Amino acid sequence: MGGAAQAKPAPPSGKPVSVVDDRLSDVSLVTKLLRRPELGALIGALAVGLFFAATAESFRTLGGVANWTDVASTLGIMAVVVALLMIGGEFDLSAGAMTGTSGLLLGVLVTEWGLSMWPAIVVTVAFAACVGLFNGVMVMKTKLPSFIVTLATFFILQGLNLGVTKAITGTVRVAGLVDVPGYESAATLFSSTFWEPYKFRISVVWWIAITLLATWVLARTRFGNWIFAVGGDANAARNVGVPVQRVKISLFVLTSTAAALVGTMIALRLGSIQAGQGIGEEFTYIISAVVGGCLLTGGYGSAIGAALGALIVGMAFIGIQFSGWNTDWRFLFLGVILLMAVLVNNLVRKSAEGARR
């Protein structure tokens, strides 16, 4: 249902429609706006942003903006691809651990096995794609819930991250990426800053670009329609000829490839990476996607919404610090935001669907 509203098929070319189908009937702009899945996240982002802008002076400065968009960016890249996967009706709990795995693999390749940076990045992305392929094929072949399959992958990766890192380096981190040939050019692309003296992160540009790309795919391409279709009703989609397995497996590969991108960004930025990196982040990705209007049941959601969800988390993270609050309360705050966003989404969607009749 939501899928049809999200990405309307292009009207038949040239021929005017004589009999008005009620699915194609005009609706008011307000109702159209209300039906957007990202509306709740937009309201939430404005509320949180205005609130912190009012309470903390540093939050409003450009340097402050650079801080909170930095936090939101790597989170947002993952939230957007996780949103695509969730619209497609699946979860990936291994996405957080995968960022750590990618960073560690990259680190080991360049510091222990003597690869230079760019070949190592290619190998890392290829490896991540294989993990995504594994996730996707396992979910498709076993017909088990992706929640369970990727939970297993999550634990496997978590164990590998620690075990392999310790076996190879003798410590729990891989360090020294800064001295590797090719670091400079890779860092320029993945982890540099721009716009002195505010020092915005280049990852913010990646985040915005990926959000726009994902939005275009969802709204304007056949693959985007297929994502909504397989998430909404996989059987119905299969019956009308959508390659359900291929779409879902592609989404898993996309998610873990994006995790490799983010892992590379983190490793290059920090110059070292810890075995525990990314553990627990997978839920923040899912939270951002849900705040952004994705349904846990699939078939509905938005990439821009997920990006806004990540922005809310980033603003809250830095805003709480700027305000000098006791950070003991941070998760309470995040929980309240999540609950509110979901409630607003729910309310708005129900009203919008009511208004349609």
Q: Contact residues for another protein (CB under 8 A)?
A: 28, 30, 34, 43-44, 47-48, 51, 55, 58, 61, 63-64, 66-67, 70-71, 74, 158, 161-162, 171-173, 175-176, 178, 199, 266, 269-277, 279, 317-318, 320-329, 332-333, 336-337, 340, 343-344, 347-348, 351, 354-355
Q: CB-wise, 86 or 310, nearer to another protein?
A: 310
Smallest CA-to-CA distance from 296 within 126, 82, 35 is with 82
Query: CB of residue 357 vs another protein: minimum separation in angstroms?
Result: 11
Exposure string for 200-227, b = 16+ CB within 10 A, e = fewer:
bbbbbebbeebbeebbebbeeeeebbbb
Structure tokens at 200: 């915005």
Q: Phi, psi at residue 20, to the nearest 5°?
A: -80, 110
**CB of 87 or CB of 320, closer to another protein:** 320
Q: Are 303 and 209 in contact (CB under 8 A)?
A: no
CA dist 259 and 161 (Å) reads 14
Please state the closest distance from residue 166 (CB atom) to another protein, in A: 8
Task: Please give the Cα distance from 303 to 19 (Å, whole number).
Answer: 34
CB of 126 to another protein, least distance (A): 24
C-beta closer to another protein: residue 79 or 230: 79
Q: At its nearest, how many Å lie between another protein and the CB of residue 151?
A: 15
Using only C-alpha atoms, the chain has a radius of gyration, in whole angstroms, of 21
Of 213 and 347, CB closest to another protein = 347
* C-beta closer to another protein: residue 55 or 245: 55
Nearest approach in angstroms of CB 274 to another protein is 3
CA 251/CA 180 separation, integer angstroms: 33
